Amino acid sequence: MAKVQTVVTAKDTGERLTPKDAIVFSARVGSGSADVEIKPEQEFQKMIGFGGAFTEAAAYTLSRLSSEKRAEVIHRYFHPVEGLGYSMGRVHIHSCDFALDNYTYVADHDTELATFDISHDHKWVLPLIKDAMEVRGGAFTMLASPWSPPAWMKTNGQMNNGGSLKPEYAEVWARYYTKFIEAYGKEGVPIWAVSVQNEPAAVQIWDSCIYSAEEERDFVKNYLGPVMHQTGHSDVNIVIWDHNRDIMVERASAVLSDPEAAKYVWGTGIHWYGGEEFDKVEKVHDLFPDKHLLFTEGCQEGGVKLGEWFTGERYGRNMIGDLNAWTEGYLDWNLVLDETGGPNHVGNLCDAPIIADTTTDEVHYNSSYYYIGHFSKFIVPGAVRIGFTSEAEGILTTAFRNPDGSIAVVLMNESEEVHSVTLGLGEEIASCELSPHSIVTHLIS
């Protein structure tokens, strides 16, 4: 009989990634099918991993805690067994909104990039990444994203409030990415991929820069792709879009249907702020099956939501929806924020899975932390999504087979009712109960 490890998080029971009596598989009686039938022979995408963003806000907030509390948070995220097992990360190329201010790595009008210097990141960001690598036991699959070129390269003369890249600086800006890759590499932090631009369709009051679909296509085709190749960085992947699902089909199509641009592009990055349109994620996969999909950012907006349950369910719903639509990795936004939901240099306060109260040295683990763990702790890098059929009304499901052969099945109940679900695998069947507002992972070996 299959051996099972069962872990539960539920709103009203106090269970938080809590091991439970495992479900028991036994031989099927009769020919009826289970509510959820696992189909290991059907294989889909391979998982890269899960992670979060090493923003300046997160790193600075952790630096304001006692060394014990800072170490606890790093352990709870990055330890492969006792933490969430994060293996991915995201960094911002100079400032973003979750930085203490606007900053760049070069002097104004230095088109040679002779003054390029990442010493700013030595204060908080790089020490956090290095400490996390030590706990993880290796490097991260790291995405680097710019929020804006330096002000002097832009049409509006500032990093904030949109504007766009002046065409005469396209080649200099492309070289800027390679300088960043090299500088981080020298620090022992390899960059796995860069996105062209964070949220290129949004004029924000913080660091932002607009690209039309055609502008993004041409920048990749004529500048970023060729420059990365010329400078020996063809092994660093390029991710386009890095924005919401709502118009991702149009944006991905504009770039990927041009073979001269597409040859440089690894895949499409997505955020969750524009609605839960998972069909559009799948559509991009169907149109461009040789390209990849990566969830690059999501968070709960509107400041700290301490103790709320809907935030965890938002994560669970989005993760299941995107994973079932061919997404290969999941990057949360800020790893940690302070008691205000910042710092953020324009006051765009948000929530995070871990909130650190810098006034009391307390660390709060939100529901989102536990919901993410139901995936990241049990679906390891290299896991392959497998098929399932479901007749379980109101239960969200995904399933993966890990490299060691174990199968992780995640079931989520957003309703106010207890749900009983039968799970079928091959010749065996098991039944399990889901509490109201709960998520459960069964690891079957």
Our CA angle for 315, 147, 90, nearest 5°, is: 45
Same domain, residue pair 342 and 402 = no
Each residue's pLDDT tens digit, 34-82 = 999 999 999 999 999 999 999 999 999 999 999 999 999 999 999 999 9
Q: Looking at the DSSP assignment, which residues form a beta bridge with residue 8? A: 18, 440
Q: Which is the catalytic residue, given 15, 56, 199, 328?
A: 199
Residue 437, domain extent: 4-44+397-444
Same domain, residue pair 403 and 346 = no
Same domain, residue pair 226 and 88 = yes
- H or E element, residue 69: helix 67-78
Domain CATH code at residue 21: 2.60.40.1180
Asked if the structure places residue 72 within a domain, the reply is yes
Asked if the structure places residue 385 within a domain, the reply is no
Same domain, residue pair 99 and 233 = yes
Asked if the structure places residue 254 within a domain, the reply is yes
Report whether the peptide linkage leading into residue 127 is cis, meaning its omega lies within 30 degrees of zero: no
Same domain, residue pair 365 and 404 = no
The pLDDT confidence band at residue 312, using thresholds 50, 70 and 90, is very high
Give me the helix-helix angle, 56-63 and 125-136, nearest 10°.
80
Q: Looking at the DSSP assignment, which residues form a beta bridge with residue 241? A: 269
Same domain, residue pair 324 and 419 = no
Cβ within 8 Å of residue 274, ≥6 positions away? 243, 244, 245, 246, 247
Each residue's pLDDT tens digit, 338-386 = 999 999 999 999 999 999 999 999 999 999 999 999 999 999 999 999 9
Taking the C-alpha atoms of residue 143 and residue 40, their distance in angstroms, rounded to an integer, is 31
Strand locations in 101-210 (E):
141-146, 193-195
**Using CB atoms within 10 A of its CB, is residue 308 exposed (0-12), middle (13-18) or buried (19+)?**
middle
Q: How many domains does the chain have?
A: 2
Pairing of strands 428-434, 26-27: antiparallel
**Quick check: 1 pLDDT over 80?**
no
Cβ within 8 Å of residue 133, ≥6 positions away? 139, 140, 188, 189
C-alpha closest to that of 311 among 365, 274, 349: 365
Q: Looking at the DSSP assignment, which residues form a beta bridge with residue 144? A: 91, 194
Span 216-236, mean pLDDT?
99
* 215 tagged catalytic: no
What is the token pair recorded at 91? 């960094």
C-alpha closest to that of 287 among 254, 330, 264, 263: 254
Q: Which is the catalytic residue, given 15, 216, 277, 297?
A: 297
Same domain, residue pair 360 and 404 = no
Q: How much is the pLDDT for 30?
A: 84
Q: How much is the pLDDT for 132?
A: 99
Percent of the chain with pLDDT over 90: 99
* 417 tagged catalytic: no
Each residue's pLDDT tens digit, 313-338 = 999 999 999 999 999 999 999 999 99
Torsion of CA 329, 332, 336, 340, to 10 degrees: 180
Percent of the chain with pLDDT over 70: 100
Same domain, residue pair 29 and 135 = no
Check: CB of residue 264 under 8 Å from CB of residue 228. Answer: yes
**Quick check: 294 pLDDT over 90?**
yes
Q: Looking at the DSSP assignment, which residues form a beta bridge with residue 154? A: 165
Span 93-108, mean pLDDT?
99
Same domain, residue pair 407 and 344 = no
Span 255-266, mean pLDDT?
99
Q: How much is the pLDDT for 32?
A: 82
Each residue's pLDDT tens digit, 383-439 = 999 999 999 999 999 999 999 999 999 999 999 999 999 999 999 999 999 999 999
Each residue's pLDDT tens digit, 167-220 = 999 999 999 999 999 999 999 999 999 999 999 999 999 999 999 999 999 999
